[in-house]
Structure 1
Amino acid sequence: MVNSIHTKSRPSSSEPSPKINEQLIARQRGWIFQGFRDMRIKYDFYSNDRLKKSPSIEKSEPYDRLTWQSGLNLLQYSLLPILSQQIETLSSLLEPLDLRRDNTTRKLESILELQVEIDHTMCQITEFVAVICPRPPGVPDRTDDNQLQNLKGSRFQGLLFKIKFLNHDICALFIHSSQLIQELKLSPKRYRRQTRKFNHRGRVTQFTELIKESIELITRWLKHSEFHHVQDEWDIEVGGIDEKLAKLTKLINPTITKPVEEEEESGEGTGEEEGREGHVDEGDVEDSDDEDSVDGEEDQLEIEDLSDPAIELARSAMPIIKLSRLFFKKLSRIGNYKFSGEQFTEMSSNQLGRLERSAGDISSLITKLNDKMVEVDVNDQFHTVTILTRTVEDLHPIFDSCILLIILYVVPLMKISPQDHHSSSQSDIDLKTWLGEWNNLFLTSTQNFIHALHTFARSPA
């Protein structure tokens, strides 16, 4: 393993002969190659059960908050920054041209020493992660951890998920690093052919950047509030909803050939600086073919012309998708500055998970809606109407759950601005009002769509 590297013999202080020097270089390259391979196996969470078998999770004593916070601080302020610097240094040392030209062992020795340092850092991170997988001993189940703040199951699982991705990239870096070292022994001709074919140096650079980005992401995640984590998940899914909206626009008007600027939704925030606080305007979701960009090659695929009744049906679905997008965009833009100093809500991990998944669940239903809209003219009308009705109705419980959780657990954490001191909380009222108006519009839009479905079902085939 890597820790055994430094037990190998070192050349004496006297200058070795060229032949001995070649042997030393070859030997050290072999140690480095094997060191990378060993670390890849040791820290690949996806291909072994090290975490599940770790003795550290067999402890029976409760995992107290101070111990957990101490571990988080060590991870955030020491281990991750150190690891980032070590990986960057490693990448700078793995320059194949320099390593091939260097007839000394100095750079190779530096790599060997750095391998040991990386192994030590990774070992500490792994030991910390092993404690929280699947969750620390003594910590309640995800349904009953409302008051545990940073000891919630969602906190552990979110961190574990991100560290697993980090380790995946690190192990990929080890693979390409080992292959880069292995190629050093090739003849110049074979070396050039191999590097053109596999470009391990390029992959080392790529994964170095990915690792640094992943470390920055984990660091930001540790600083952010629970609701900010939910917002991050929503942001990812909103892009998918945008794509569905663009495709439906293409269905309605296949002649659109160039992107046009997306409309500005009103009331994107809840503060006075954002204007028209707490108000949802029907103009935000009115049916307009020129509001949404249609870009990307996949949107240029040939689409069979829909019948006039099918186009009208597709038009009636537009407000549903636009309101869905508006819901998540609006709530994703409630900045941290609008909240009190509380980093944690009183939601359980299960409730937080439901909120995080909601945008993805809505996006999946909208995908199903879009897919069926494409087929309305060719499939059995009764069957199509039944599926589309059920799909739209399935949207309601997801949004209802989101609204309830936000009103119960997020709204109370919002700050009262100085000009609102006379009221209980103007920000609370504004967000509640917006949610109520949005819900009324959404109910109206779904009812209109279901009515359009029945009209379509009565239209001549």
Structure 2
Amino acid sequence: MANSHRTTRTLENSSEPLDTTDQLIARRRGWTSKIFNDLVEKYGFFSRRRLQVSAIEPPESNDGEPMPETRTNGFTGDERSQKLEIILELQVKLDTTLYQITKFDNVLRRGRSGARAPIDDDRSDDNHLKDLKRFRADALSEKIQILIRDTCLMFRWSCCLVKELEFSTEDRLHNYKSQIDQSTAIVTQSVKHIIKWVTSNEFIIVQENWQININYMNKVLVKLTSRINLGGAEGAEDDDDDDNVYYSDYDHNYEYVSEDEDGPEMKDLSGAALQFARTAIPIIKLSRLFFNRLAMIKEKEFALGPYTEMSSKQLIKLKTSARDIRRCVARLYGIMIQADRRIPGNTIKNLRKALDHLIQIFDSVILLLINYVIPLMIPPPQDDPHTSSQSDILKNWLVTWNYLFLSATRESITAANVFANTIL
């Protein structure tokens, strides 16, 4: 009599004879599992062969047909057999695709493409290379590595799932299907990131990490405003580790220390220091506004293709500008809240250094925008001379913003001198 519940039954240990269909399914399942494992071994992160493309054997079939040893004629009517056959065919296509991607990544890492000359290491004169600028190529290679890593993880879970099929449904120990679904979503996202990096305008690409730094600037602004509104005392809502984040970008040219080095609490700011600290608020707000405004520029506002005449060195400077400004804002915050504990002359010197660095970064970014980005934006309609183009609007905005920013920095220096005279 059959048991009322299903029991575990492996193909190897079963004493019951297997019919021909079950034998074929078992072999196909074994092939499927092995191929998934072989793909991980072939393209995995720690594979020595992947680091040297010449050591990777090309797929046995490059025409999308299944590999010879996987073809099993005469038993295509079983649904399980058909599904395994589809998986085996997809494995060959995946192998072919990953092989081509790996070869392409090797081209990127070598800095060559066919007869092209090597990309200069200083990244200063590759503006003519378009999609093979080091700015694009280096980051694209990193994203390809992430894609291969994520894909291999999906293969690993798939291998485990196929092995689990040997057991009855109720006796399977892991929910590998859920993990495969998650891995598939991650791989899909990796593919989208690569497509965006390849097809988007360079100015859109450089904004990739701006929002993180904008958020940091906003945190500094909230923290400084809270301190000022509380009369210089540190509020209860500030009992976190945010200060450590601001001070992590420590520069030995600036004479301030982290909160940990002076005890768990900052001293209350004096009235003169509060007046001085207030002048940092418009500087931080304008810094944040600058990148928020540039981030509003969309792909559709560019008339030409995805490439600018900027070199990789210039593109990297533009890409890291938000991070550099955030670091300056962090230094500015440190100067303000420690003004009472520093020699006034050193406070003024450090303030000038921080503001000069801010101005220098913004000047270089504005220059890049005027020379390389704004000329690529869609011009106004020729039949409507009264309509302002987006490029004209942006240029006028930059002029106004620059005037306000320089005025804010001058007011801060004036306030620093007043603060110093009050202390002396």
TM-score, normalising length: structure 2:
0.69
Matches for 1:35-434 after TM superposition, within 5 Å: 35-44=35-44, 46-48=45-47, 53-55=52-54, 106-136=82-112, 137-141=116-120, 142-183=123-164, 191-192=172-173, 195=174, 200-253=176-229, 306-309=268-271, 310-370=273-333, 373=336, 387-418=350-381, 427-434=390-397
Is 2:412 the counterpart of 1:449?
Answer: yes
Conservation of the 8 A alpha-carbon contact between 1:153 and 1:349: yes
**Unaligned residue ranges in structure 2 (runs of 5+):** 1-10, 56-63, 65-77, 232-236, 245-263
> CA 1:131–1:421 in 2, change beyond 3 Å: closer, same or farther?
same
Separation of aligned partners in 1, 2:208 and 2:323: 12
C-alpha distance in 1 between matches for 2:52 and 2:136? 22
Q: Work out whether residues 134 and 157 of structure 1, in 8 Å CA contact, stay in contact via their aligned partners in 2.
A: no
2:43/2:50 contact within 8 Å kept:
no
CA apart distance, 1:50: 5.0
Q: How far is 1:167 from its partner?
A: 1.8
Distance 1:367 1:164, change over 3 A: farther
Q: Taking structure 1 as reference, are residues 366 and 19 closer, same or farther at Cα in structure 2, changes over 3 Å only?
A: farther
Q: Structure 1, unaligned stretches of length 5 or more?
A: 1-10, 57-81, 83-101, 256-293
Residue aligning to 1:281: none
- Pick the structure with more helix per residue: 1
Deviations 1:239-282 (A, max 9, x none): 33333333333333469xxxxxxxxxxxxxxxxxxxxxxxxxxx
1:17 equivalent in alignment to 2:17: yes
Measured on the aligned residues, the alpha-carbon RMSD in Å equals: 4.2
Deviation at 1:455, TM superposition (A): 4.4
1:159-182 deviation per Cα after TM superposition (whole angstroms, max 9, x unaligned): 222222222221222233334445
User: Matched residue of 2:127: which SS?
Assistant: coil
Q: For the residues of structure 2 that align with 1:445 and 1:169, how far apart are their CA atoms? A: 48
**How big is each residue's C-alpha offset from its partner over 1:52-103, in whole Å with a ceiling of 9 and x where there is no partner?**
53359xxxxxxxxxxxxxxxxxxxxxxxxx9xxxxxxxxxxxxxxxxxxx99
> 1: distance between equivalents of 2:314 and 2:218?
26
Measure the CA separation in 2 of the matches of 1:183 and 1:438.
Answer: 63
Letter in 2 for 1:138: A
Matched positions, count: 359
Determine the C-alpha separation between the residues in 2 that align with 1:380 and 1:42.
62
Amino acid at match of 1:53: Q
Q: Is the 8 A contact 2:135 2:316 kept in 1?
A: yes
303 and 209 in structure 1: CA distance in 2 versus 1, 3 angstrom threshold: farther
TM-score w.r.t. the length of structure 1 is 0.64
- Structure 1: how far apart are the matches of 2:166 and 2:277? 63
Determine if contact 2:33/2:159 at 8 Å carries over to the other structure.
yes
Three-state SS of the structure 2 residue aligned to 1:396 is: helix
Determine the structure 1 residue equivalent to 2:234. none
Task: Provide closer, same or farther for how the CA distance between residues 34 and 251 of structure 1 changes in structure 2, counting only shifts above 3 A.
Answer: farther
- 1-structure distance, mates of 2:191, 2:419: 53
The offset of 1:368, in angstroms, is 3.9
Q: Does structure 2 conserve the Cα–Cα contact (< 8 Å) formed by 1:251 and 1:303?
A: no
The answer to whether the Cα contact below 8 Å between 1:51 and 1:133 also exists between their aligned partners in 2 is no
Of 313-322 and 21-30, deviating more is 21-30
Distance 1:109 1:413, change over 3 A: closer
The one-letter code matched in structure 2 to 1:316 is: T
- Report SS of the residue matched to 2:329: helix
Distance 1:251 1:205, change over 3 A: farther
User: Are residues 397 and 108 of structure 1, via their aligned partners in 2, closer, same or farther at CA, if it must alter by over 3 Å?
Assistant: same
Residue identity opposite 1:307 in structure 2: L
- Counterpart-to-counterpart distance in 2, 1:116 and 1:231: 37
Distance 1:39 1:52, change over 3 A: closer
* Residue identity opposite 2:191 in structure 1: I
Counting aligned pairs with the same residue, the percent is: 38
